[in-house]
Structure 1
Amino acid sequence: MESQKIKALQNIFSSRLDTLSHLLTLAETHFGDDVESILQCRIAPDMFPFGTQIVFACNQPRNFALCCLGQSANNLPPDVTSLNQARGHISSTKDLLASINVPDATLSEIKRIELGQGLYLELSGLSYVDDFLMPNFYFHMTTAYDILRMEGVPIGKRDFMMHLIPFLKHQSDT
């Protein structure tokens, strides 16, 4: 049976990772030779810096792929020291996503999500995606976007919503 839901999730995560890569390119253009300084910028002192936001955004689709493949969650190391490393995380996450080839029934299996300190969740695969991974993914994507805005990178909603470009149409006057 065709895996329509899993394929849709692969496409969502992959296209949003393309957006994250686009944001990195815009940051690089804005900061030039000083671009690595953005990696340590943060919105508030108790929040993780931009580089870590990239990693945490990648961890969500990464752990979706690992879950689909029957493997345990395996987060990337949180310290990012270069934009090339950040791009490598995005690229390797997209490659891992592309490797998924399992039936949608995988999403009905109960998953145990370890949260640390003895805490865990038990959710169906679909609830894991909808209620845990997606909110976390968009939180870290938005936080990365907000850091760039705060640091003066000229980005807007259009840059965050790039995944809609293929559907963009123009009404002609004729």
Structure 2
Amino acid sequence: MQSQTVDSIKSLFQSRLATLEHLLKVAQAHFCDDESFLQKRIAADMLPFGTQIAFTCNQPRNFALWCDGKPANNLDPNVTSLAQAYESISNTNELLLSINAEDTKLAEMTRIDLGQNLYIELSGSAYANEFLIPNFYFHLVTAYDILRMAGVPIGKRDYMMHLVPLIKQG
């Protein structure tokens, strides 16, 4: 396995944010610009699609802020319009583009406050691999699943679109 770098983490987030934006565009077309799909959810006690967009964006957003020595700063979870959804993805991509950290940053320790006076301390590498990336995929998959449940015509190719440029025929 290739050694992980700040740029490889950034690249992973960027390519999967492109997937999130693609899924949003397909859903927008499927629902003919009716924004009510942003409120769809899998179960009553789960957060809606719009919130899943914000939570998906929070992971790369907080990675970029951490790389810049700034505290975590989550997006407003009440994403109720397409404009908000696209803006969340765009602003997150801009933050990722601004990352200018050395790979040694991944060795630094960071504290993650979990609320209720609980926290964990992880190296930067563990912060990315054990906290941010799993949370990122959780919310991305949940967003995908909500759209599938709502009848949006998406499939594995839409979710794995980062591999499409690598497909060969022969």
TM-score range, shorter chain: over 0.9
Alignment of 1:147-162 (within 5 A): 147-162=146-161
Q: CA deviation at 1:101?
A: 1.1
Distance 1:18 1:9 in 2: 14
Counterpart for residue 8 of structure 1? 8
> What is the identity, as a one-letter code, of the residue corresponding to 1:118?
N
Distance 2:150 2:107 in 1: 42
For each residue in 1:126-151, what CA deviation from the matched residue of structure 2 results, as whole angstroms up to 9, or x when unmatched?
Answer: 00000000110000000000000000
Alignment of 1:77-88 (within 5 A): 77-88=76-87
> What is the identity, as a one-letter code, of the residue corresponding to 1:37?
S
Distance 2:70 2:123 in 1: 15
Distance 2:166 2:9 in 1: 18
Q: CA deviation at 1:162?
A: 0.7
Query: What is the TM-score normalised by the length of structure 1?
Result: 0.94
Moved >4 Å (runs of 4+)? none
For each residue in 1:84-120, what CA deviation from the matched residue of structure 2 results, as whole angstroms up to 9, or x when unmatched?
Answer: 1101000000000010111100010000011111111
Counterpart for residue 102 of structure 1? 101
Could you say what secondary structure the match of 1:121 adopts? strand
Q: CA deviation at 1:29?
A: 1.0
Counterpart for residue 52 of structure 2? 53
Alignment of 1:1-174 (within 5 A): 5-34=5-34, 36-171=35-170
Distance 2:72 2:108 in 1: 15
Could you say what secondary structure the match of 2:32 adopts? helix
Rg (Cα) greater in structure: 1
Could you say what secondary structure the match of 1:140 adopts? helix
Q: CA deviation at 1:33?
A: 3.6
Query: What is the TM-score normalised by the length of structure 2?
Result: 0.96
> What is the identity, as a one-letter code, of the residue corresponding to 1:18?
A
